[in-house]
């Protein structure tokens, strides 16, 4: 699945499905890059054929990590994986809180996916 730049994906796929992670508490840039990498790993493990993109959207009181998928079905599958809720006003948008507990949970998913992917040695 090709990873794209955010602006390119939303320009080419204006109806893309998006998952918004609200990061609490607000952290430094190194931590945010680590979260972004973690979400990339989850997206890559699911291996949808369509393109995806991520973008950090820092704010004064809140930072969001935005994930967009060229195909809404892939956004919905990713939203389910991370436990995101659909926004009622927007059918193609989901959101979730990405706090320390959720970070640990998602890191565990990545570890499990990596274990299941590696062949056992004999």
DSSP states of the chain:
--B--HHHHHHH-TT-EEEEEEESS---HHHHHHHHHHHHHHHHHH--SS-EEEEEEE-SS-EEEEEEESSHHHHHHHHHHHTPEEPTT-TTEEEEEE-HHHHHHHHHHHHHHHHHHSPPP-
**Global pTM value:** 0.85
pLDDT tens-place string over residues 93-112: 999 999 999 999 999 999 98
Band of pLDDT at residue 43, cut at 50, 70 and 90: confident
Compute the average pLDDT of residues 33-51. Answer: 82
């Amino acid at each position: 699945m090709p990873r794209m730049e955010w602006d390119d994906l939303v320009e080419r796929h204006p109806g893309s499905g998006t998952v918004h992670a609200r990061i609490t508490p607000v952290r430094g840039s190194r931590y945010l890059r680590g979260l972004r990498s973690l979400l990339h790993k989850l997206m890559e493990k699911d291996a949808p054929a369509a393109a995806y993109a991520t973008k950090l959207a820092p704010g004064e009181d809140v930072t969001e990590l935005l994930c967009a998928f060229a195909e809404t079905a892939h956004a919905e599958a990713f939203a389910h994986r991370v436990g995101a809720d659909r926004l009622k006003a927007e059918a193609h948008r989901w959101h979730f809180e990405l706090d320390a507990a959720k970070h640990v949970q998602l890191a565990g998913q990545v570890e499990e996916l990596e274990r299941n992917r590696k062949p056992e040695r004999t």
